[in-house]
Amino acid sequence: MSDFQEQEIVSAEHDHLVSAIIKLDKTQHITEPTRNEPTNLSSEFNLIKSSNKLDLSKVVSALKDSAHHTTITKKLKSLDQGQVLPKPLEKPQAERIKRSTGYDATKEKVAKWDPVVARNRTVDFVSFPLHSVSKREHPTKVILSNLKSKSPLEKELDEIDPPAEVEEESKEEQSFPMTYEEMLEHRKEMAKLRAQQSYKAAKAKRQSKIKSKKYHRILKKERLKQQLKEFEELQEKNPEEALKKLEELEKARALERHTLRHKNTGKWAKNKLVRAKYDKEVRQQLAEQLAVSRGLTHKTQHSESTDDEADENEMLPDMTLAQDPLNPWMMKGLNKSNVDTDFDFGYKKFIKEKVLKHTEDSDSEENDETVCDLSSLKKKNYMLGSVRNHVHEQSSHSKIEHESKLSSPLGISKKKPMEKNNAKVTFMKQDRNIKKPIATSKWTVDIIKPNDSTESGEIKVAEVFDTFETKVAKQVEIKINKLRKNIKRLERSSKTPKVVKKKGGKGKNISNMESLMFKNKNPKPIIDEELIETNLKAPEDIPEMTKTYTKIIKYPSALAAHSNNNSNIDPSQFIEVKPKYLNTAIPSCENILDELDDDEQIVPKIDIEEVFEEDDVVASFRQEKQNEIDNDIPKEIDLQLPGWGSWGGIGVKAPKRKRNRFISKNIPKMPRRDENKGDIIINELKLPKLKAHKVSELPFPFTKVSDFEASVRAPLGNTFIPEIAHKKLIRPNVITKAGTIIEPMDEEQLLIKRNQSFKNEKILKLLSKQ
């Protein structure tokens, strides 16, 4: 009894306690009314409020799996499944999709006009109205004249061979804007459009929902691969296009540089920065990020040369680390790890870790010292600039654990997190580009290298993924290298990339030094090095280039003429035209007796004129020519003036330095037209009045002077060319018939053959772009 009582008391107490506990929660709970006994009356107080909706699934469950009701259950189940419609997309997204599909459709619609427009643009003239067939009714006379009764012969012929009956065209008036077929087509089109829209929406939704980073990474990689593949194909097919694409890539790079994305300035990066001081992992992430930016901003041209170096550098630390006898941690770790990792896999590892963590948590105080020791050791390692393998790292830690286990009962405080696979490709780039990103900051960032599948003999799903990814990465890398080689081949110029690279390296070093000199007040992981502005077109080179350009432009004619000058001949030296003695008549007043027969060659006689021929005429003329030539040679202009403290006046020689400075250099001599022409002077004067009439700027479509000159070479006037040609040449581009209504083009134009057959691809492309 007492037992019972006790029990009662306990239960009462318990109830009391429960109620007290419930009272702690001050919200009022309205308990769901439940029916505990069957009634026929349904009073308003007994109604179940919450859901009077029939839950089909419950009904189905009620049916159980009796063979009797299978069909009903199936039906109900299907109803249950199909009923819920997907949530519609958000309005802006839906609108966007609608717009994009609409754009595509309109584009297609408009594109069909391209040939018409292109043809109208290129054609000599367009005459409006476009319908050449006049819709005006012919006068009855004309119509009647066109009607002819059949001749008896024709009738006879018809009797023998009756002509095929012409089908009478049904003259139904089109009261509807569209025919039935058109309507159907229209509907179909609309349906297609809608389907497309919905499909796209669904796809977008599905894709946007995927949260997996891996998926996105793979997607990104695939895209990259695809792009590379396309690029390679393009390179084979159309190197020009490929170059263009490359330029685009370059542009993207420039944009990247410009926007400074992937730098340490973003919100994410700033957040990380706060944590970076304490968290190595975060530091690594930041470094990765910067590596990405570097990879993007790095110019592609000379990357190959850096590749080799980077490879060497990459190899070295590994070697030293792996076989450094002075570093017992590493040596042992390596061996141990191999053993450990052999056995630490799967759930076993998980449990082990968990246990370790538990012990660590419970005994945190004792752990402190070892942690300190470990951290200091680690730091040492970092200072050595170790680039460690993920496995090494892990193994070392595990080894540490073991040791700590041996020496002290406690394990290690922190576990190395799994390395992130996604950074692999970027890591490689980073490795190549920067060897020691630590140099500029206080912090040490050690790069954790991705897993080497060969070293760890474990077969993990994750690692299989890893190996696959590394493979992919390697392939990508190889391809990139290939690409770069090609690019290099294309852009091989006078500048040797080595020199340029060196320059870049120097700049980097200097910057590093500078950054070391200044004290950072709020430390940030500025691992970013100076941009290596080393292209083939180094800034120093550019002005030179322009100079040469201007030079070339300045004296093309001179150069051409000089080449001609090589054959330096004075025709007057060679061709002395022998005088032909003509048997001319002699004026009667002079000497009648001297007349001779026509046949006889006249023996030259010395004449008084010839005797007194002025020889100095020639000499003076040649002198004149020489003077002319001398005058034509541009002279040096002495611009120097005596400065402070120097003597001025006649006969004072300026110091050499000044002379060199102020005498404007003469223009190279232009060859004269009359250079080899004997006693002929041609003054190549610049006629200023004539110059005013000349064209001094090439109008738009021309890029060659010769082309422009060719385009204006022929006259247009009817006094020069036949009238027909003249009319043809001066015909206006657009001819409008006076007094007619010019209606806009309709779709009939699309059906005209000459419009359809317009096939100048270049123009079509150009016009469709606009």
- Tell me which residues in 659-678 interact with other proteins (CB under 8 A): 673-674, 677
Q: Whose CA is closest to 128, among 770, 716, 733?
A: 733
Closer residue to other proteins (CB): 199 or 549: 549
Nearer to other proteins, 2 or 706 (CB): 706
Name which position in 45, 176, 574, 644 contacts other proteins (CB under 8 A).
Answer: 574
In the complex, what is the shortest distance from the CB of residue 561 to other proteins, in angstroms, rounded to a whole number? 10
Among 38, 86, 152, 648, binds other proteins (CB under 8 A): 152
CB nearer to other proteins: pick between 187 and 251 = 251
User: Minimal CA–CA distance to 338: which of 266, 259, 411, 391?
Assistant: 391
Tokens of 611: 């005797």
**28 touches other proteins by CB under 8 A:** no
> Of the two residues 408 and 493, which places its CB atom closer to other proteins in the complex?
493
Which is nearer to other proteins, 3 or 609 (by Cβ)? 609
Q: Compare residues 24 and 160 and give the one whose CB is closer to other proteins.
A: 160
Which residues lie below 8 Å from residue 340, measured CB to CB, with a gap of 6+?
395, 398, 399, 402
Query: Which residue stretch of 284-292, 463-471, 509-517, 600-608 sits at the interface with other proteins (rule: CB under 8 A)?
Result: 600-608
The two most distant CA atoms of the chain are separated, in Å, by 190
Min dist. Cβ of residue 145 to other proteins (A): 8
Separation CA 128–CA 738 (nearest Å): 9
Q: Which of 610, 630, 746, 747 binds other proteins (CB under 8 A)?
A: 610
- Is 585 near other proteins (CB under 8 A)? yes
Q: How many CB atoms lie within 10 A of CB 396?
A: 25
CB of 678 to other proteins, least distance (A): 8
| Candidate list 725, 735, 745, 752; residue touching other proteins; CB under 8 A | 725
Residues 616-645: x where in contact with other proteins by CB under 8 A, - otherwise, as a string: -xx-xx--x---------------------
Query: Under 8 Å CB-to-CB from 313, ≥6 apart: which residues?
Result: 431, 435
Distance CA 598, CA 585 (A): 9
One symbol per residue from 126 to 145: x for binding other proteins (CB under 8 A), - otherwise; what is it? ------xx----x---x--x
Question: Is there binding between residue 769 and other proteins (CB under 8 A)?
Answer: no
Of 489, 469, 395, the C-alpha closest to 428 is 469
- Cα distances from 625 to residues 130, 438, 667, 675, 681, in angstroms, run 68, 77, 21, 10, 6
Binding flag, residue 614, other proteins (CB under 8 A): yes
Kind and range of the H or E element at 449? strand 448-449
Enter the tokens of residue 505: 């390296």
Based on the shown chain and the rule CB under 8 A, indicate whether residue 588 belongs to the binding site for other proteins.
yes
Residues 158-177 that bind other proteins (CB under 8 A): 158-159
* Of the candidate residues 6, 709, 743, 748, the single one contacting other proteins (CB under 8 A): 709
CB of 691 to other proteins, least distance (A): 6
Question: Is 316 near other proteins (CB under 8 A)?
Answer: no
SS (H, E, C) 103-143: HHHHHHHHHCCHHHHHHHHHCCCEEECCCCCCCCCCCHHHH
Residue 618 CB, shortest distance to other proteins, in Å, is: 6
Q: Where are the alpha helices (DSSP H) in 261-386?
A: 267-276, 280-297, 303-323, 328-343, 346-362, 364-383
- Return all residues near 367 (Cβ < 8 A) that are at least 6 apart: 360, 410, 413
Among 29, 519, 762, 769, binds other proteins (CB under 8 A): 762
Task: Tell me if 156 contacts other proteins by CB under 8 A.
Answer: yes
Contacts of residues 633-636 at CB distance under 8 Å and 24 or more positions apart, as own/partner, are 633/666, 633/669, 634/666, 634/667, 634/669, 635/666, 636/663, 636/664, 636/665, 636/666
Residues touching other proteins, count (CB under 8 A):
116
Pick 660 or 756: Cβ nearer other proteins: 756
Show the CA angle centred on residue 106, arms to residues 101 and 110, nearest 5°.
155
Using the contact rule CB under 8 A, the part of the chain among 31-39, 231-239, 458-466, 683-691 near other proteins is 683-691
What does residue 663 show for φ and ψ, rounded to 5 degrees?
A: -90, 120
Tokens of 303: 């990357």
Tell the burial category of 587 from Cβ atoms under 10 Å away from its Cβ (0-12, 13-18, 19+).
exposed
**Minimum gap (Å) between residue 623 Cβ and other proteins:** 12
Among 597, 703, 742, 751, binds other proteins (CB under 8 A): 703
Nearer to other proteins, 138 or 223 (CB): 138
Specify which residues 664 forms β-bridges with.
637
> d(Cα 89, Cα 95) in Å, to the nearest integer?
9
Determine if 250 is a binding residue for other proteins (CB under 8 A): no
Q: Which of 252, 687, 735, 752 binds other proteins (CB under 8 A)?
A: 687
The smaller minimum CB distance to other proteins, of residues 193 and 670, is found at 670
Site for other proteins in 454-483 (CB under 8 A): none
The reply on whether position 717 binds other proteins by CB under 8 A is yes
Kind of pairing, strands 388-389 and 448-449?
A: parallel
Residue with smaller CB distance to other proteins, 459 or 560: 560
734 binds other proteins (CB under 8 A): no
Nearer to other proteins, 87 or 704 (CB): 704
The site string for other proteins over 93-132 (x = CB under 8 A, - otherwise) reads ----------------------------xx-x-------x
The 3-state DSSP class for residue 409 equals coil
Given candidates 49, 665, 713, 769, which one binds other proteins under the rule CB under 8 A?
713
Q: Which of 3, 181, 609, 747 binds other proteins (CB under 8 A)?
A: 609
User: Is residue 233 within the footprint of other proteins (CB under 8 A)?
Assistant: no
Instruction: Decide if 228 contacts 234 (C-beta within 8 A).
Output: no
* Residue 585 identity (one-letter amino acid): A
Which residues within the stretch 541-570 sit at the binding site for other proteins (CB under 8 A)?
A: 546, 549-550, 553-554, 556-557, 564, 567, 569
Residues contacting residue 676 through CB under 8 Å, at least 6 positions apart? 568, 569, 570, 571
Q: Which of 485/673 has CB closer to other proteins?
A: 673
756: contact with other proteins by CB under 8 A = no
Q: Which is nearer to other proteins, 156 or 233 (CB)?
A: 156
